[in-house]
Structure 1
């Protein structure tokens, strides 16, 4: 049985139009124009136990709203969801003991107290036994290399150290499902790598089901084999991360280094010019034609170096964002799974 099942989940927010000025403020006391924002629109997917799934989308796509519904923070406008067999928005005590959510831009730790004080509070909230608490705390602080920082005020920790403490607070009760909303935002490269390595090791050891949102493709590529892409509140891709570009057509990029400048118009017959500075040229071509294109380029231009590459995953994801909702998304998703 899947750990998470989502079917036609939707969320619409209501708000009111407010124009500038005192007159409009007084008018709004008696007659306000109600507006609607469809944040999530009929999102459906299933996630198996132990999977780490990347949940991608541009700002405002509906990622955080979806995670909040799956954790019971928000009540949906329509649709169904099951997490570990529970209805999240019923907020049953047994359910709340089995999941955690970490939001990179929100703190759960007390700012002026050492992290250890917040950990003790979580221990009491989740009714964690003393032996289990000490064992789990010891394992997590050792893995994240923060044992010497437990009694330091949270506000005196670096951003990377605080995020490590946030993860420990979220994992003290050994949740079976973990929702991570941009856990590496703002962190330096080294801190990001350590967080990624910790999450991968933790998942392998505990088989915790994880949904990860991030704008750093390094996080997604390192941790997630499967990716769900959401845009304008709807799923536009669900499948293997490595096959994102398959949904956009088979394309290759030919990268040229020239011995001397060549007029850019001469390359347009081969494909789409991605970049050109006179010496270096990147041309996007159809996969079925890249061999003949490469041979022709070598024969007709002063080429010093030529390489052929797949379109970067980051660019494939960006194109999915730009394309918006794919009316044939269900078909494309079945083809890439």
Structure 2
């Protein structure tokens, strides 16, 4: 089976102007440079990067909003910028900070209009809407105008609108931004179920690393327009390792603990944080031999720390090449 997304040496440049009106200076800015990857049917892939790294530009090329400056791009077998109308029937898109719903209409009416936009047969629409209403618990607010919905309710409505035509690929840009813990959990569990039961391929950009750890087996990291990493989460942690932290609760406050293989980075009363450079068991044994311990907790590095280290490493390597 052909990949859902195929990108080969993908690039996008913009021409920007600066200076005074009669002395404008034009320069070319490269937003995406030589990006190559493919996404197989049924994958959930996280596409990560700092602001300005090229994530949004890539997403706009994938959905046909922007035409690549160079390279080859196919999404569900189509060239997005040239076959945008056909592509719209095969993909669903949700931007967390924008809505595709009609602001003053009840949610039910917005979804009915969406059916006509995608030319979904009435019977298919009714069946699909019933399924999504149950899965996303839309029933209590289907009659509510979109402008009166909470952010979490609106996001569930946007997801429904993006899925009513049963797309093969769902593209999500910050789908949980601004949501409370319960709403985030609802969205994540729904996406996992959508992927496992219907095989929908999902490409996700997010700054919420909880989304990545819960949803994505594979992540791609883009920085300064280039792919810095493409692999699974365990490989990402191995590529840019972050130290483990041992949190020690002593029976009484004490000076910073000094043992081999650990460095005290923080002390608050009887609690101390030790950054480990040795086997945790060896450090725990050494601390236990010299201090009275009330409790211990070993904290694994969070994916956010790992990605931040990867960014710093890539920037250092880039500066080294430039120098």
TM, length-normalised to structure 1: 0.85
| Aligned: 1:32 with 2:24 | yes
Contact 1:255 1:306 survives alignment (8 Å): yes
Deviations 1:57-82 (A, max 9, x none): 22222212111111111112222221
| Paired residues of 1:56 and 1:229 also in contact (CA < 8 A) | yes
Residue aligned with 1:141, SS: helix
Q: Say if 2:281 is the partner of 1:280.
A: no
SS in 1 for 2:68: coil
How far apart are the structure 2 equivalents of 1:291 and 1:151?
A: 58
What is residue 203 of structure 1 aligned with on the other side? 195
Instruction: Name the residue aligned to 1:69.
Output: 61
1:94-109 alignment, distance < 5 Å: 94-109=86-101
117-126 vs 157-166, greater mean Cα deviation: 117-126
Q: Deviations over 1:95-115 (max 9, x none)?
A: 221012110111111111122
Decide whether the 8 Å contact of 1:10 with 1:42 is kept in 2.
Answer: yes
Give aligned pairs, total.
Answer: 317
Give, in whole Å, the separation in 2 of the partners of 1:169 and 1:136: 10
Are the equivalent residues in 2 in contact too, given 1:236–1:325 (CA < 8 A)? no
Report the CA distance between 1:272 and its aligned residue. Answer: 4.5
Partner residue, 1:315: 305
Counterpart-to-counterpart distance in 2, 1:247 and 1:272: 23
Tell me the distance in 1 between the aligned counterparts of 2:165 and 2:315.
Answer: 38
Correspondence 1:144-223 to 2 at 5 A: 144-223=136-215
Of 94, 106, 115, the match for 1:123: 115
**Aligned-pair distance for 1:117?**
2.7
Contact 2:264 2:272 in 1 (8 A): yes
Q: 1:250/1:184 Cα in 2 relative to 1: closer, same or farther (>3 Å)?
A: closer
Answer yes or no: is 1:231 the counterpart of 2:223: yes
Partner of 1:23: none
Output the CA distance in 1 between the equivalents of 2:160 and 2:76: 22
State the shift of 1:302 in Å: 4.3
**SS, match of residue 22 in structure 2:** coil
Q: Distance in 1 between matches of 2:12 and 2:284?
A: 49
Matched with 1:17 is 18
CA distance in 1, matches of 2:149, 2:234: 37
Instruction: Give the C-alpha shift of residue 182 in structure 1.
Output: 0.7
SS of aligned partner of 1:267: coil
- How many Å separate the matches in 1 of 2:155 and 2:68? 29
Query: Is the 8 Å Cα contact of residues 235 and 325 (structure 1) preserved in structure 2?
Result: no
Residue 48 of structure 1 aligns with which residue? 40
Match of 1:245? 237
Give the drift of 1:10: 1.8
Give per-residue Cα distances to partners, 1:123-172, cap 9 Å, x unaligned: 22211111111111111112111134223211111111111111111111
Greater Cα offset, 278-287 or 86-95: 278-287
Deviates more, 1:171-180 or 1:143-152: 143-152
Is the CA contact (8 Å cut-off) linking 1:102 and 1:180 kept in structure 2?
yes
The aligned counterpart of 1:110 is 102
Structure 1 unaligned spans of 5+? 19-27, 329-337
So what's the TM-score if we normalise by structure 2? 0.89
Whether contact under 8 Å (1:108, 1:166) holds in the other structure is yes
Output the CA distance in 2 between the equivalents of 1:315 and 1:279: 26
Kept in 1: contact 2:213–2:303 (CA 8 A): no
